[in-house]
Structure 1
Amino acid sequence: MSERPWWHGAVLYQVYPRSFADANGDGIGDLAGITARLGYFVELGVDAIWISPIYPSPMADFGYDVADYCDVDPRFGSLADFDALLARAHALGLRVLLDFVPNHSSDQHPWFVASRSSRENPKRDWYIWRDPSPGGGAPNNWISDFGGPAWEYDAATSQYYSHAFLKEQPDLNWRNPALRAAMIDAMRFWFDRGVDGFRIDVLWHMVKHAEFPDNPANPDFHEGLGEMWRVLQTHSTDQPEVHAIAAELRALADAYGERLLIGEIYLPVERLMAYYGAPDAPGVHLPFNFQLIDAPWNARALARLIEGYERALPEGGWPNWVLGNHDRPRAATRFGEPQARVAAMLLLTLRGTPTIYYGDEIGMGDVAIPTDMVADPRELRDPGKGLGRDRVRTPMAWDASPAAGFSTGAPWLPLHDDWPTRNVSAQRNDAASMWRLHRDLLSLRRRTPALALGDWLPVASEGDVLAYERRLGDARVLVALNLGTAYAPFALPDWARALRVALSTVAGDPDPRLLAPNEGMILT
């Protein structure tokens, strides 16, 4: 393992800072709260944490509208608080990654304030400005991911600026060398402080077609979808020039040693692979693989998906997997807890680097948000479509004390209804809990190199059973997962007959030849 980059054998954990731990009692999580809980990550068994945006922000999109790329928002603390967090994490052997938001800034960022002040301002071209269309109105038909046109008219200068998300999030112009240099400097600022890498927000959005043509209509659009799906983002995302930017960011990261870059990229697998880059111009180390979030949850479909992803990887490309994040429904809601346990075993036994979303390790589900507490701009702009993300960003439950140990004040979003029993403290003492399953999976992975680093090979199975082998040298591990709710026979391969069940997702006497409903098992 010492010959490989640290992230090959690592497990990442996403922290949504507003909702993880609040140290000052204002109901909003903060850096001091995370620092106080760093021992938790060691106890659970993860290797690195990725912290969602902590930069100064008006919070129009809860930190993804950045007003200063080189500071910390007072809601979360200070640079000194971050330095203390980083130092303590490193002392515990943990790595720390930050979010980097390069596609857009806040409209209150000093750069944009200068840019919109006049057409002659030196920073005008740091953002994307266009004249109205010949007939008047927006320059083209591009639609914001949050609904409505992706253009906002500025009466003072008689031009429109581009915004792929909220109008409060103007798009940066990465074709401008000065802007590009300033953003590289911002990333360098954090590398100099010692961060171990970045998750790069909406990487595939960063460059737009130079001629700004209309996007084609989406032939599969229907009213049940969000408005953004009316057109295909052919010209507003995934442009060829983005790969040179990814290569430049990678070169910077590599100059600091083993620093990790993860790209948020929602694209089909064949297009996703381009973000690994080329041998002479490598891209991000891990283009996020979101397939498990949207996959049909049946054994045969998943087997094809995993095999297809493994085949598509470029030479030297390291895989990665996630089950959820701050934008998508939680696993416990999608599957129910019995099958969410199987999904956790899948996530943590596939080849590659997995990322756990905070709270999934205790089986937190989506939380119904009262109308008067809805905060997410996506839900507020397009209500009733199920697009709101507040429900997956609710506070972490640590114990049965008031506010679940998250805060001494009133939490900014409501807790899940069963928090008095669904919390870390309660599950820590329950051998059958979701938390203990995660801890046991991570412990087994850590002491079994074949699970952390071995090859992935399919194993013949039928019906609701998904089976595969992890192999490293002579060491062989078998994983068998029952994705159904009935008992499922499994023909144990000859080579595995001498193996023993190291871990099962259900209680009782496991029999690898007959998997119980919703049972996953690992044989070593």
Structure 2
Amino acid sequence: MASWPEHPVIHEVNTAVWLTDLSRAAGRPVALGDVTDAEWDAITPTGVDAVWLMGVWERSPLGLALAAQDPGLWAGLKEALPDLGAADVIGSPYCVRRYVVDARFGGPEGLALARAALAVRGVRLILDYVPNHVAPDHPWVAEEPSALVGGTVENLIADPASWLDLDGRVVARGRDPYFPAWPDVVQVDAFSPVLRGLAASTLVDIASQCDGIRCDMAMLVTNETFARTWGGEAPSAEFWPSVIAEVRAAHPETVLIAEAYWDQEWALQQQGFAFCYDKRLYDRLLGVDAGAVADHLLADFSYQSKLVRFLENHDEPRVASRLGRDAEKAAAVVVATLPGATLWYEGQFEGRRVRPPVFVNRRAPEPPDHDLAHWYRRLLAAVADHRVRQGTWRLLDPGDRQVLAWSWTAEEATHLVIVNLSASRVQADIPLDWPGLPSTTWQLSDLLEGTSHAALGAGLSNPGLAVDLFPWQSHILAVTPRT
């Protein structure tokens, strides 16, 4: 398969929930090796470059037993799935017992068939890695004690929610510096040379089974964050550069993606990640703050092109439950046309409003919004087929803080994106004084609406495009000289 595109489009799929849906439709168990061509086609619409099969690894029975002691967990599960049954709860995909594909999903053989099915479609496979913690019954717990954060009986007595007794040995439960510990996982020691060696070996093995790896909460094992959480003297070397170097040596084409928060994106990019989550853009889009979005987009292109733009994922509420349909479409045009990677979550296109908790293997029934699904697929196809995100990206100033505008200029094509990210009707003047383009009048063809506009070119008086935008209206315009 060819190298990764510069600005890839990723479709995240909750593996357990998806396979349950397919099994119910087929009237028989369906594992990864049994998925039909039609179903692979359905999750790889035009414009999708990679599928992230979230949660394929073996989940921990002991971790589930520990998590199940929390009544709050059950309350949350029943809120999302009112008819919840014991068979629906399979444990967290981020409480990994072994980095081996779960037998219920088809095991390693099923994953290999899935990867081959995606490759036939020119689509890459992304899998998970959890650097910060392991399940309490992960082999490292018994075999590699120096890879974990150990404690004392006094720690356990003083704070039983943060420590765990495993057969007379006290170990820390996994956590971050801001929230209580997770009850079902054990904390690894990011400063331990043994742990770093094990992590590198694990990532190399995962990379042999896929094309990209999404690293959960990647900032938790940086020296600064780990020391702030657990204390101790940090080694001279950071965790990620040496670990990633081993992956690069064995699998140079593997793309590493960091789930990152707390303004750690730039640091993680410098430590070797190809892409990092853009949570700041997410917050500003969901807050419907176009001015704040524009301010965020002032960052250097080299930084922005390594961000992952999204409106939802398995950790965030469904965007349809947060924004009205027109506002969601406007935000989706923003995400689809910016530099960097874009991430879409399975079910988002159909307008699902209930996010399945990661502990369960099925979702609540919801009628799909077929019109919205058609619109999303048209959006992705238009951006891909017309090569919108090619060449030089430039943020434009429309003179109104409710309107966003940018252009993509390449040798073969120029595109202009305009979005009214507000509930008000807005008039604005979009400057079109792009360097290097001819002094002429341009024809602007809307790739989503099929309409055309004319605009004065550079070098003429008041070059630009006057727009009158209805609430939440957006345009993706192909620009050609008008003869």
What TM-score results when the alignment is normalised by the length of structure 1? 0.71
Matched, 1:161 2:176: no
Q: What secondary structure is seen at the aligned counterpart in 1 of 2:337? A: coil
Partner of 2:240: 246
* 445, 457, 460: which one aligns with 1:501: 445
Q: Structure 2 vs 1, CA of residues 515 and 485 (structure 1 numbering), >3 Å: closer, same or farther? A: same
Matches for 1:368-379 after TM superposition, within 5 Å: none
Partner of 1:523: 477
Determine the C-alpha separation between the residues in 1 that align with 2:407 and 2:222: 40
- The answer for unaligned runs of 5 or more in structure 1 is 115-121, 139-147, 213-233, 368-388, 395-410, 428-432
Note the C-alpha offset of 1:111.
2.4
Q: Structure 2 vs 1, CA of residues 199 and 179 (structure 1 numbering), >3 Å: closer, same or farther? A: same
Determine the C-alpha separation between the residues in 2 that align with 1:81 and 1:490: 53
CA contact (8 A) 1:126 1:172 kept: yes
Q: What secondary structure is seen at the aligned counterpart in 1 of 2:140? A: helix
CA contact (8 A) 1:19 1:393 kept: no
Percent identity (aligned) = 21
Partner of 2:397: 459
CA contact (8 A) 1:273 1:312 kept: no
Partner of 1:351: 339
Partner of 1:478: 416
Q: Structure 2 vs 1, CA of residues 154 and 43 (structure 1 numbering), >3 Å: closer, same or farther? A: closer
Matched, 1:203 2:218: yes
- The answer for unaligned runs of 5 or more in structure 2 is 65-90, 176-180, 435-440, 455-465, 479-483
What TM-score results when the alignment is normalised by the length of structure 2? 0.77
Partner of 2:252: 257
Q: Structure 2 vs 1, CA of residues 19 and 452 (structure 1 numbering), >3 Å: closer, same or farther? A: farther
Matched, 1:360 2:304: no
Q: Mean Cα displacement is larger for which, 488-497 or 353-362?
A: 488-497
Name the count of aligned residue pairs: 420
Partner of 1:151: 163
Partner of 1:284: 273
Structure 2 counterpart of 1:130, which letter? G
Determine the C-alpha separation between the residues in 1 that align with 2:246 and 2:92: 28
Task: For residues 291-317 of structure 1, give each alpha carbon's deviation from its aligned partner in whole angstroms, at most 9, with x where no partner exists.
Answer: 232223122111112224x37829xx6
Partner of 1:307: 298
Note the C-alpha offset of 1:254.
2.3
Structure 2 counterpart of 1:77, which letter? G
Partner of 2:459: none
Q: What secondary structure is seen at the aligned counterpart in 1 of 2:400? A: coil
Partner of 1:376: none
Structure 2 counterpart of 1:252, which letter? E
Q: What secondary structure is seen at the aligned counterpart in 2 of 1:451? A: coil
Q: Structure 2 vs 1, CA of residues 31 and 474 (structure 1 numbering), >3 Å: closer, same or farther? A: closer
Structure 1 consecutive aligned stretches of length 4 or more whose deviation exceeds 6 Å = 26-29, 208-212, 507-512
Task: For residues 110-145 of structure 1, give each alpha carbon's deviation from its aligned partner in whole angstroms, at most 9, with x where no partner exists.
Answer: 322x2xxxxxxx62212110235699624xxxxxxx
Matches for 1:22-421 after TM superposition, within 5 Å: 22=20, 23-25=22-24, 30-32=31-33, 36=37, 37-58=39-60, 60=64, 61-69=91-99, 71-112=100-141, 114=142, 123-131=144-152, 137-138=158-159, 149-153=161-165, 156-157=168-169, 159-164=170-175, 165-193=181-209, 195-206=210-221, 234-236=228-230, 244-255=238-249, 256-268=251-263, 271-277=264-270, 282-295=271-284, 296-308=287-299, 310=300, 313=303, 318-366=306-354, 390=357, 412-416=362-366, 419=367, 421=368
Q: Structure 2 vs 1, CA of residues 358 and 210 (structure 1 numbering), >3 Å: closer, same or farther? A: closer
Q: What secondary structure is seen at the aligned counterpart in 1 of 2:105? A: coil
Determine the C-alpha separation between the residues in 2 that align with 1:500 and 1:393: 48
Determine the C-alpha separation between the residues in 1 that align with 2:296 and 2:237: 25
Note the C-alpha offset of 1:88.
1.5
